[in-house]
């Protein structure tokens, strides 16, 4: 099993994340080529350099915005547009739909599109709660700027390219002090960052500055399977993404690529409740809410309780990042007065992800491997469903085409 582990001892930002993943092996030219697929590609260029922070050599990534009145020096691995300036932020405000439009109109693969959207959705939910607005009416400020859009979509491109089986992170350092944003001077961590990282282990105060940005928080929230300070794998490679600021500690994001031998093992938690006194119509609503809050699997089993009462056992599989939220959903939304939970260990096949090009469109395929051999594969259902609807054909036609090509 291939593992990506984030060591966020100095926090995480969008540019630090890109630097760390490039340092781990994502090809610079590939990243730039993929970012060129965006409709806003004329608005920025990318500069990627090898630099040092307090004696640590790593990768520094700068997203440089286009300006007709200036030029940028340094041509190594740059997005090829001539007229730029070195401002790293603009203040164009975009809502979630306009950002989704940028993503949907690109030729990026479906996995990258989904990851990108999920990251922006994490920010939108946080901003909506902080500002008391609906998700649709929230206008992003810093995260709606071109450089942050590139940071998030770039993160999705890199994660997709690394093709790891599991992503983990250490406790996240948030920093301290105050930071200037679109709304004025606010305390660190910024409200949106705090909201995004709810139920995620954090540290504060290691430095008197912002170390984790909303962009960095949204990336972690979306992709990390487990937050733990325990490293239990063989380290294969180490990458460093350099930040812009200078602290008393190195302002770098350290990332490890690791390997675990044997079949993929994953420790998760099973939550169970027995229900014999609830309107059965509510189960569908509760199930949707469980998935929205991070449940990995939800299923119902008919049972007979004491005194011959028919009932439903509701079982929910969850990982450590969503455990508290799922417990709250079960206790608040159902009639139960308590729940059972126990640790389960899943043994899974190694996974490999590819994108299959068909005459109906690109379809992500998940392969299951045993001892390095592919023994089964599964197309992404939601993509097949969407393509069948778009082409007005039976979904089995999509599946037939996939099996024909594989």
pTM over 0.75: no
- In contact, 191 and 231? CB cutoff 8 Å: no
Nearest 5°: CA angle at 207, between 250 and 192? 105
- Whether the link from the prior residue into 189 is cis, omega within 30° of 0, is yes
Report the candidate in 245, 239, 240 with the shortest Cα–Cα distance to residue 213.
245
Rounded Cα gap, residues 404 and 406, in angstroms? 6
Structural tokens at position 224: 């990390």
Q: Is the pLDDT of residue 140 over 90?
A: no
The values of phi and psi at residue 162, to 5°, are: -70, -30
State residue 90's pLDDT score. 45
What percent of the chain is modeled with pLDDT above 90?
Answer: 70
Structural tokens at position 335: 């009639």
Q: Is the pLDDT of residue 290 over 50?
A: yes
- In contact, 220 and 12? CB cutoff 8 Å: yes
Rounded Cα gap, residues 395 and 290, in angstroms? 28
Torsion of CA 97, 101, 103, 107, to 10 degrees: 160
State residue 145's pLDDT score. 80
Angle between helices 146-162 and 110-131 (to 10 degrees): 140
Each residue of 88-137: pLDDT tens digit? 444 456 888 999 999 999 999 999 999 999 999 999 899 888 888 888 77
State residue 262's pLDDT score. 54
Each residue of 222-243: pLDDT tens digit? 999 999 998 889 999 999 999 9
Each residue of 191-215: pLDDT tens digit? 989 999 998 999 999 999 999 999 9
- Within 10 angstroms of residue 332's Cβ, the number of other Cβ atoms is 9
């Amino acid at each position: 099993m291939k593992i990506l582990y984030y060591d966020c001892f100095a926090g995480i930002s969008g540019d630090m994340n890109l630097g760390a993943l490039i340092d781990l092996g994502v090809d610079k030219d590939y990243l730039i080529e993929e970012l060129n697929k965006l409709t806003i590609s004329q608005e920025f260029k990318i500069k990627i350099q090898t630099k040092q922070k307090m004696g640590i050599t790593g990768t520094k990534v700068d997203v440089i915005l286009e300006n007709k009145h200036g030029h940028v020096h340094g041509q190594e691995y740059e997005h090829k547009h001539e007229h730029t300036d070195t401002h790293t932020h603009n203040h164009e405000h975009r809502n979630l739909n306009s950002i989704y439009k940028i993503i949907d109109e690109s030729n990026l693969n479906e996995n990258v599109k989904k990851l990108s959207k999920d990251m922006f959705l994490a920010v939108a939910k946080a901003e909506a709660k902080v500002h008391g607005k609906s998700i649709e009416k929230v206008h992003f400020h810093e995260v709606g700027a071109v450089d942050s859009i590139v940071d998030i979509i770039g993160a999705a491109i890199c994660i997709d390219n690394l093709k790891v089986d599991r992503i983990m992170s250490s406790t996240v350092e948030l920093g301290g002090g105050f930071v200037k944003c679109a709304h004025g001077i606010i305390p660190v961590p910024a409200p949106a960052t705090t909201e995004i990282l709810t139920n995620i282990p954090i540290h504060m105060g290691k430095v008197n500055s912002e170390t984790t940005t909303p962009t960095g928080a949204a990336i972690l929230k979306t992709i990390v399977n487990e937050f733990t300070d325990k490293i239990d794998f063989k380290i294969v490679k180490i990458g460093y993404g350099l930040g812009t600021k200078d602290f008393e500690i190195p302002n770098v994001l350290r990332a490890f690529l690791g390997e675990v031998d044997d079949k993929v093992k994953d420790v998760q938690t099973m939550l169970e409740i027995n229900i014999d006194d609830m309107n059965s119509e509510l189960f569908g609503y509760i199930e949707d809410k469980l998935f929205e809050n991070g449940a990995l699997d939800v299923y119902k089993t008919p049972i007979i309780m004491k005194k011959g009462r028919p009932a439903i056992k509701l079982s929910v599989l969850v990982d450590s990042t969503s455990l508290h939220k799922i417990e709250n959903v079960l206790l608040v939304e159902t009639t139960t007065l308590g729940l059972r939970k126990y640790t389960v260990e899943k043994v899974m096949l190694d996974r490999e992800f590819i994108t299959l090009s068909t005459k109906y469109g690109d379809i992500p395929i998940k392969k299951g491997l045993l001892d390095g051999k592919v023994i089964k594969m599964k197309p992404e259902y939601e993509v097949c469903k969407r393509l069948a609807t778009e082409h007005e054909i039976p979904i089995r036609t999509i599946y037939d085409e996939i099996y024909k090509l594989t």
